[in-house]
Amino acid sequence: MISLPATVKRFTYGFRLAKMRLDFPYHPEWEIPPPPPELRAILQQPFYFIGKGAQSYVFEGEDGKYVVKLFRYDQPSLESKILLLFNACKMAYDFLRAETGLVYIHLNPTPMELPTLFCKDAIGRGYKFPLDHYRFAVQKKGKAFRAVLEEAKDHPLEMQKRLDQFIDLLQSRTAKGIFNSDPNLSRNFGFLETRAIEFDFGNYRHRADLDRISEMERYTSKLRLWLSRCAPEWVAYLDQRVEALQ
């Protein structure tokens, strides 16, 4: 019996409703235009728990096309962390919507604008979330970064396209002076059909003096290591693309 709480926590990934309830002041700078017409249809389907990050519980829609990230607050007293997170979300929505696959963000409570979301947790328990009262983001669901490259590495045209898409993404973000303080490659990035996207936008920061080359090299150097192990014939192409950035 002593091990039961730890076992339950492991199977549920520590999922708790209390962690998603936040009594936090209204911030006018987090307001966005009314939800796009397609949002209601997206949110009417059931969603299923697929994991958690440092800042959210993540649920995938039944159609496999979208995820909802319900923000979680393990230490709600740390106001500065919440401000950084929500400011990063607003930055992503305003300037990098295509680069992150963002469809919608909800950072302030709203009066009767949004539907109730039905979700199931990791062990199949169902929950209904009146979304007007929760802070969340809706994002297109991409494919895992390394899995896509694994599939593409033996198909030259596809592999070249994916490497180009990744470089294009880094160029687009850094051109807007936005830095990501989380350097993890495989966890933060993925692919849609036509572009690379950055899944994790919660650590975005604006830097007027951003060294674009250094920021891009934080990720391309890690990609080069992976290619050296798994697809060495593509290292030269990556080096060529990186050299062209100088």
- Tokens 């674009």 belong to 212
Angle, vertex CA 56, rays to CA 110 and CA 168, nearest 5: 100
Domain assignment present for 197: yes
Whether 152 and 238 map to the same domain: the answer is yes
Structural domain span for residue 132: 22-140
The three-state secondary structure class of 144 is strand
Per residue in 130-168, pLDDT (tens digit) is: 999 999 999 999 999 999 999 999 999 999 999 999 999
Q: How would you class 72 by CB atoms within 10 Å of its CB: exposed for 0-12, middle for 13-18, buried for 19 or more?
A: buried
Whether 123 and 55 map to the same domain: the answer is yes
Q: Which CATH number do you get for residue 170?
A: 1.10.510.10
> Residue 246's pLDDT is what?
73
The three-state secondary structure class of 64 is coil
Q: Which of 140, 156, 180 is the last residue of a domain?
A: 140
Whether 98 and 156 map to the same domain: the answer is no
Whether 223 and 156 map to the same domain: the answer is yes
In this structure, the strands spanning 66-71 and 102-106 are unpaired
> Residue 10's pLDDT is what?
59
- Tokens 């590495």 belong to 153
Whether 73 and 147 map to the same domain: the answer is no
Domain assignment present for 178: yes
> Residue 17's pLDDT is what?
86
Contact yes or no for 42/138 (Cβ under 8 A): yes
Digitized pLDDT (tens) for each residue of the chain, 246 residues in all: 444 455 545 557 678 888 888 888 999 999 999 888 899 999 999 999 999 888 899 999 999 999 999 999 876 557 888 999 999 999 999 999 999 999 999 999 998 889 999 999 999 999 999 999 999 999 999 999 999 999 999 999 999 999 999 999 999 999 999 999 998 998 999 999 999 999 999 999 999 999 999 999 999 999 999 999 999 999 999 999 999 987
Q: How many domains does the chain have?
A: 2
Q: Which of 103, 124, 140 is the last residue of a domain?
A: 140
Whether 170 and 90 map to the same domain: the answer is no
Contact yes or no for 24/82 (Cβ under 8 A): yes
> Residue 4's pLDDT is what?
43
Whether 168 and 120 map to the same domain: the answer is no
In this structure, the strands spanning 102-106 and 143-144 are unpaired
Q: Where are the beta strands (DSSP E) in the chain?
A: 47-52, 56-61, 66-71, 102-106, 116-120, 126-130, 136-140, 143-144, 178-180, 189-191, 196-198, 204-206
Q: Which of 108, 140, 172 is the last residue of a domain?
A: 140
Domain assignment present for 3: no
Domain assignment present for 45: yes
Task: List the one residue out of 127, 87, 129, 135 whose CA is nearest residue 110.
Answer: 135
Whether 215 and 170 map to the same domain: the answer is yes
Show Cβ contacts of residue 143 under 8 Å, excluding neighbours closer than 6 positions.
190, 191, 192
Whether 108 and 161 map to the same domain: the answer is no
In this structure, the strands spanning 116-120 and 47-52 are parallel
Whether 131 and 153 map to the same domain: the answer is no
Whether 171 and 235 map to the same domain: the answer is yes
Domain assignment present for 6: no
Whether 122 and 165 map to the same domain: the answer is no
> Residue 1's pLDDT is what?
40
